[in-house]
Chain A
Amino acid sequence: MTPHTRGAGLLELLVGASLGLAVLGALTAAVGTGTRLLAGASARFEAEDTADLALESLTFDTRRAGYDPTAAGIVPIVEATAERLALATDLDADGIVDPNSEETTAYVCSAAAQRLSRITGRQSLPLADRVLGCAFRYLDGAGVPMAIPAGGLDADARARIRALALDLVLRPTRLRGETARTALVALRTEP
């Protein structure tokens, strides 16, 4: 090899550049796919966690509804519609349901805002956003779903509720389909 023929020729450069670009492209695609997978998984996990936490919160609030150590006659469910549930309890055993504390808890499904909120006293806490479906169901002592009139269940009907259910569906994330959960919780008060 003479000094004039040293270095890479045009063809070598083109082949080398092409191979380099191909490898770089493949790497970029792999990293991009990995990033999307990570973001998708993260969003999916967050949605699952959100749904689980919302239902866990409802479970504990429902379990303690109607807790009435002084026998003051506290009604566990004070409002029952398909979109709204209000619970009452006497946590500090003073015989009174304090409307400004956790003794008054409500769950509201807002279709317009696509949100499930928990309202304790006067504070509203969003439990889940991107809500696609959210509805309460009420079951009597025989486990039969009760028909909910437009204005919600009246006092007599609410007194017959022995269990309630929340069906919650969150919008699909990039990873798989929508997140759907149902919680069925029995009241702990005596029929």
Chain B
Amino acid sequence: MRHNARPRRLASRNGIALPAALAALALSAALGAALAELAGTELRLVQNRRRTATVLAASDACLARIVAGMAAGWDFAGALAGPDGILGSPDDGAVDAPAGCVATLGPSPGASDPPRALLALAARAGGGRHTLDAVVGRTRAPGVPALLWLSAPPSPGAVTGTLAFDGADDADPAAPGWAGLAAPVNPSALDAWLAGEGTHIVASAATGLAFTAPPPPLAALGGYLRAAGAAGPEVLVPVGTPALASLALVDGDFTVTGSLVGAGLLFIDGILDIVGSLDFTGVVVASGGVRIASAGNLTIAGALWLGAPPSPGAALVVDGRVALGQDHAAVEWIDTRLTLPRRATVLGLQDGI
């Protein structure tokens, strides 16, 4: 009897506690697993979004660097022909892209005017891949929004006199301020040069920060100017005489000894030496650079574009005084008579995958 009673007692102790505990455990485990799965899914989504954002930023940066590095000019014929400059060769449309990107340039559909090209770009970054097609054209505004456009980085100690920048346009106070300096070098190097020149360089509050720009295409501009039948140095007249705006070209070096004024476009296909003073409204171009003697004075309402000197030497030597201020109307006046070069810019894009 006692022997048989034990299994019954054990059976009665089974009850529902163990099944209930197991059921609760199973439910809790299921809930935990579901929560973990949910969190895991969200984590994967967040990682995907981060990857998308990373590669999107990388492709945008790549596009910006490629376009910033494109030569200033009038169209894209040179870029479409590739490094060898021969259209129809295997390197047509080859573009030097930063690491992580591959890009090719091709003709844009439709009429050739306005000049533009299609840039196909593929970027890889952060474990993602992104492609885009961008329409690349020329900026609306001629030249660059800078008072001084250089073909090469300026030399340290080039300014022992005074170089004054005023990015504001007195005739149009609403116009965005221009930068003092643009050159084909990293902006931080330009900032360092400006800082290194110390108090010899003065910039107004309206003057923008220096920026990277491709060199001005002076050889082509000179060619167009010759073809347009430009006037000579006679357009520069003594102070007190009304100066008529015109397109002028001087072959070889040119020295200003007296006090002259002028307006329009003055292209010196050589070195411009200022011993006296020159007050100009418009754009002064010196393919061989400019040298301002200690008694020299150069004042320009517009812009100064400088090429590299033919022999070793600095493109910009300022022992005297140079004052540059914005006058975008004067630059636009030139552009209506002789189309000025422009930088490449993105006109639109379409993302791929």
| Interface of A toward B, CB cutoff 8 Å | 3, 6-7, 20, 23-24, 27, 30-31, 34-35, 37-38, 41-42, 45, 48-49, 52, 56, 60, 63-64, 66-72, 76, 89, 91, 93, 95, 141, 188-191
Residue of B nearest to A28 (CB): B24
Q: How far is the CB of A123 from chain B (nearest CB, A)?
A: 20
Task: Check: B231 CB closer than 8 A to any chain A CB.
Answer: no
Task: Check: B139 CB closer than 8 A to any chain A CB.
Answer: yes
Besides A31-B24, A67-B348, 13 more A-B contacts (Cβ < 8 Å) are: A20-B15, A20-B17, A24-B20, A34-B32, A34-B35, A38-B35, A41-B38, A60-B351, A63-B351, A66-B348, A72-B110, A189-B347, A190-B346
B349 touches A69 (CB 8 A): no
Residue from A30, A66, A69 having most chain B Cβ neighbours under 10 A: A69
Which B residues are CB-close (under 8 A) to A34? 27-28, 31-32, 35
A64 touches B5 (CB 8 A): no
Q: How far is the CB of A89 from chain B (nearest CB, A)?
A: 7
B116 touches A71 (CB 8 A): yes
| Interface of B toward A, CB cutoff 8 Å | 1, 5, 9, 12, 15-17, 20-21, 24, 27-28, 31-32, 34-35, 38-39, 41-42, 45, 49, 52, 108-111, 113-114, 116, 118, 133-135, 137, 139-140, 176, 345-351
A71 touches B114 (CB 8 A): yes
Which A residues are CB-close (under 8 A) to B116? 69, 71
Which A residues are CB-close (under 8 A) to B351? 60, 63-64
Q: In the complex, A53→B266 CA distance in Å?
A: 56
Residue from B45, B108, B349 having most chain A Cβ neighbours under 10 A: B349
Q: In the complex, A104→B92 CA distance in Å?
A: 34
B28 touches A31 (CB 8 A): yes
Residue of B nearest to A67 (CB): B348
Selected contact of B135 from candidates A31, A68, A95, CB within 8 Å:
A68
Q: In the complex, A67→B137 CA distance in Å?
A: 12
Which A residues are CB-close (under 8 A) to B52? 56
Q: In the complex, A72→B109 CA distance in Å?
A: 11
Q: In the complex, A158→B217 CA distance in Å?
A: 35
Q: How far is the CB of B74 from chain A (nearest CB, A)?
A: 16
Selected contact of B108 from candidates A27, A41, A70, A188, CB within 8 Å:
A70
Asked if A42 meets B135 with Cβ closer than 8 Å, knowing A64-B349, A68-B347, the reply is no
Closest 7 CB pairs between A and B? A70-B110, A34-B31, A67-B348, A27-B24, A67-B350, A64-B350, A188-B349
Q: In the complex, A35→B32 CA distance in Å?
A: 9
Selected contact of A89 from candidates B12, B134, B176, B350, CB within 8 Å:
B350
Which A residues are CB-close (under 8 A) to B16? 20
